[in-house]
A and B are shown apart, each in its own frame.
Chain A
């Protein structure tokens, strides 16, 4: 089984209690209580973070749901793009695994 966010069986979520946000124009500054780091997210990454707050998703589920969340066809937001955006949120510790070990 592949490790990390590439596993289709693992499910992930964002916990809004772990961070604070502040919108400045087109970007959102996110302060993460767990790491003490400040992150700058664009509108798309912030939309993904908001989606992951609502319920846990596997990467495959996220690839299906995220284009609809943005109201764009899958061709404009293919699974590889979703995986990359998700990977960035995972890299900075804004998402956590909740099941599927």
Chain B
């Protein structure tokens, strides 16, 4: 899958990030030799931003990495100052995935946000091997729940809550679909939480599951819920979609479920894809098979407990244990 083989050593046999000395990790990061092998992608990272480095070491501790300069990668990402001046004066940092996209320079303490945004951009705009849809995905042994929502819809909070219900995390940001067949591939990175969601998830997941909090970012307060060791261990195990949800969080709203016609659900799902039209027939084939295998619902809720109860009910209705 990934073009990241290091001699005969596959990602499964590679050392985890936590198995390397921090100074070796920092040196490899500074030279751009650290390659993160996560799900179907190998990403070469380069940065000397201390906040980004510390975040990576903590939140990706269980991910296989190589520190070898000859390792091939699918994408590369440089988290760096926007120019030479901003390396030294009123320092700033921004993600550079190797192509131009509009990005607000951030203060150095927001290196983790630059890192995560850059990793999102690298996959969303450079991946053409798989169909990418903007959605979170969790799964159990019977299938996957795909949560599609615009920013603020509660996608990530719901995904984090379902992790607590023993669903494994496939991805917080992307439903990654195999071309030609409706298999969803894991890409278990930290779950990005905004504003009130940070404390809500911290309350049920615990401090150890969370990153530090970034206040005053362009997106408000940001925190991350880490992918668990078991999520990383299952990162090469795809899942078939069974439930497609379009959640809407409204403070104080009564919990409601409304079925969505498959035809309508598919059109909404395509609207959240950066590369469906590029992949053409392969994406069409897998998406139609996906549409045949799922039930789709709009769900509205006013708190996390209600959202979990709704999803549990829908999941059980579909025949899951």
Contact = CB atoms under 8 A, between A and B. Distances in A.
A27 interface: yes
Contacts of B70: none
Given A22-B288, A29-B284, A29-B288, A38 B263 contact: no
A22 B284 CA distance: 10
Given A24-B266, A24-B291, A38 B261 contact: no
Secondary structure class of chain B's binding surface, majority of residues: helix
Interface string B262-301: 1110110010000011001100100010011000000000
A18 to B, nearest CB: 12
Secondary structure class of chain A's binding surface, majority of residues: strand
A37 interface: yes
Nearest to A38: B284
Contacts of A31: 280-281, 284
Contact of B266 (A26, A29, A37): A29
A24 B288 CA distance: 8
B280 A36 contact: yes
A31 B267 CA distance: 13
A26 B284 contact: no
Interface residues of A, number: 13
A31 B263 CA distance: 14
A84 interface: no
A20 interface: yes
Interface in A1-51: 20, 22, 24-27, 29, 31, 33, 36-38, 40
B281 A20 contact: yes
B261 A26 contact: yes
Contacts of A25: 261-263
Contacts of A26: 261, 263
A28 B241 CA distance: 21
A40 B267 contact: yes
Contact of A29 (B261, B263, B277, B280): B263
Contact of A38 (B262, B264, B270, B292): B270
A40 B277 contact: no
Interface in B290-315: 291-292
Contacts of B281: 20, 31, 33, 36
B270 to A, nearest CB: 7
Nearest to B281: A31
A44 to B, nearest CB: 14
Given A22-B288, A25-B261, A25-B262, 5 more contacts: A22-B291, A24-B266, A31-B284, A33-B281, A40-B263
21 contacts: A20-B284, A22-B284, A22-B291, A24-B263, A24-B266, A24-B292, A25-B262, A25-B263, A26-B263, A29-B266, A29-B284, A31-B280, A31-B281, A31-B284, A36-B277, A36-B280, A38-B277, A38-B284, A40-B263, A40-B266, A40-B267
Interface of B: 261-264, 266-267, 270, 276-277, 280-281, 284, 288, 291-292
Q: Which 9 A/B pairs are nearest by Cβ-Cβ distance?
A: A27-B263, A24-B263, A22-B288, A31-B284, A24-B262, A36-B280, A25-B261, A25-B263, A25-B262
